[in-house]
Amino acid sequence: MVKQGDKVFLPVEVPGASYQQLETEGIASVFDPLGIKYDVVDCGTDPAGIIAKMTDYMVANNPPAIIALGDSVAASVKRVFDGAGVPAGKIPVVGWGNSKETAESVKSGFINAAAWQFPSAQGFMPVALLGLAAAGEPIGYDIHTFSLYDASSVEPILKLYNK
The smaller minimum CB distance to other proteins, of residues 63 and 94, is found at: 63
Measured in residues, the chain has a length of: 163
Q: Which residues are within 8 A (CB) of 10 and not within 5 positions of it... i.e. 6 or more apart?
A: 24, 27, 38, 39, 40, 41, 66, 67, 69
> What DSSP element (H or E) covers 18?
helix 18-34
Single out the residue of 26, 35, 85, 126 in contact with other proteins (rule: CB under 8 A). 85
State how far the Cα of 19 lies from the Cα of 129, in Å rounded to an integer. 25
> Using CA atoms, how far apart are residues 121 and 125, in angstroms rounded to an integer?
6
Q: Decide whether 90 or 100 has the Cβ nearer to other proteins.
A: 100
> Could you tell me the smallest distance in angstroms from the CB atom of residue 21 to other proteins?
12
Give the shortest CB-154-to-other proteins separation in angstroms: 17
Which residues inside 141-160 make contact with other proteins, applying CB under 8 A?
none
Structural Rg of the chain based on CA atoms? 18
Phi-psi label, residue 62: left if phi above 0, alpha if psi -120 to 50, beta otherwise: left
Q: Whose Cβ is closer to other proteins: residue 78's or residue 144's?
A: 78
Give the residue with the Cβ less far from other proteins, 83 or 109.
Answer: 83
Contact map string, positions 12 to 51, toward other proteins, x by CB under 8 A: ---x-----------------------xxxx-xxxxxx-x
Sheet holding 93-96, edge to edge: 37-42, 7-12, 66-68, 93-96, 113-116, 147-150
Among the listed residues 2, 21, 83, 109, the single contact to other proteins using CB under 8 A: 83
**105 contacts other proteins (rule: CB under 8 A):** no
| 60 contributes a contact to other proteins by CB under 8 A | yes
Binding site for other proteins (CB under 8 A): 10, 15, 39-42, 44-49, 51-53, 55-57, 59-61, 72, 75-76, 79, 83-85, 100-101
